[in-house]
Amino acid sequence: MFLFREELKKIQRYCSYQDRCQYEVEVKLNQFKLDQEEKEEIIIRLIEEGFLDEERFVRSFIRGKFYQKKWGIVKIKKELVLKKVPKNLITNCLDEINQEDYKQTARELYEKKYKNLEGEHVQARKLKCLRYLVSKGYETSLIYEFMDKTQ
């Protein structure tokens, strides 16, 4: 018999609202007065019933952060590591980002930022663009490609 039916329903709703990783579910379960064995049983049930799927979460997270928020791979990886997602799973799911889209997005972000900094010295503009794109999670080697082509 399942003694914590109410907690299970709450956590199922939590997982239904959007994809979650196991770490997020564990944090949420800590709000309930359950022992470790009960928490593990709930997580197993969530996985078996399809409410919790780590790979689906990672793929969804990567797509959302890149295509909606325009984050770079460095920042996406860092955030997933903070959510205690295994590094090999992160690496395997990075194919969600089309490499041409990635370069094009980085180029567009660079050009837009550069244009907004009109009136400033060229080197200062380039440096600010570099900092901006690094903060968005793009690789410096990719950014330098755009900087070299900018006058």
- Residues 122-146: pLDDT tens digits? 899 999 999 999 999 999 999 998 8
pTM summary value:
0.89
Pick from 42, 46, 45, 20: nearest CA to 33: 42
Asked if residue 31 lies in contact with residue 39, where contact means CB atoms within 8 angstroms, the answer is: no
Residues in Cβ contact with 112 at an 8 Å cutoff, skipping those fewer than 6 apart: none
Amino acid letter, 86 = P
- Residues 14-56: pLDDT tens digits? 999 999 999 999 999 999 888 888 899 999 999 999 999 999 9
DSSP 3: T
